[in-house]
Amino acid sequence: MTTIYVDADACPVKSEAERVATRHRIPMVLVCNGGLRPPENPLLRVVYVDEGLDVADRWIAANATTGDVVITADIPLAADCVTAGALVLKPDGEELNDRNIANALANRNLMTELRSADPLRPGGGRPFSKADRARFSQALDRALTREAKRRG
């Protein structure tokens, strides 16, 4: 059975993911270091991991498998999950898979090097928009529909 795993600490689309998961009746796991209330939705559960660098990422990577969907903006985590057979969606709806994850990793590594070489270089991306939220919801809906068809 498909499970949605959310790298929840900084995820801007938790409520959109919940709506789509509920519509498809798919369980969703929010993985975080704390700060989230236990959900009332019976399809959702929160996994609280210890504080520390990449602890939530390691938990998700260890649990996500073929047919699951992982929601994260963390490219190294995405690469681990793609390798495990999971489909990965970024919060803006971009799908990361075996065809594009190497480029995403290379770009992430390049940007990390550029930022470390010039600490005054502004970081971050553009603000998250309603269009990004809609694109994400549509992408998650399509991914879950594809997976349901694949499983029969």
Question: What's the maximum distance between 2 C-alpha atoms anywhere in the chain?
Answer: 52
The CATH class of the 4-147 domain is alpha beta
Q: What one-character DSSP code corresponds to residue 61?
A: H
Per-residue pLDDT at 28: 98
Low-confidence ranges of the chain (pLDDT < 50): none
71's enclosing H/E stretch is strand 69-71
* Domain range annotation of the chain: 4-147
Per-residue pLDDT at 125: 65
Q: What mean pLDDT value characterizes the chain? A: 89
* pTM across the whole model: 0.87
Per-residue pLDDT at 115: 65
**24 contact partners, CB below 8 Å, separation of at least 6:** 141, 144, 145, 148
The whole-angstrom separation of Cα 52 and Cα 38 is 21
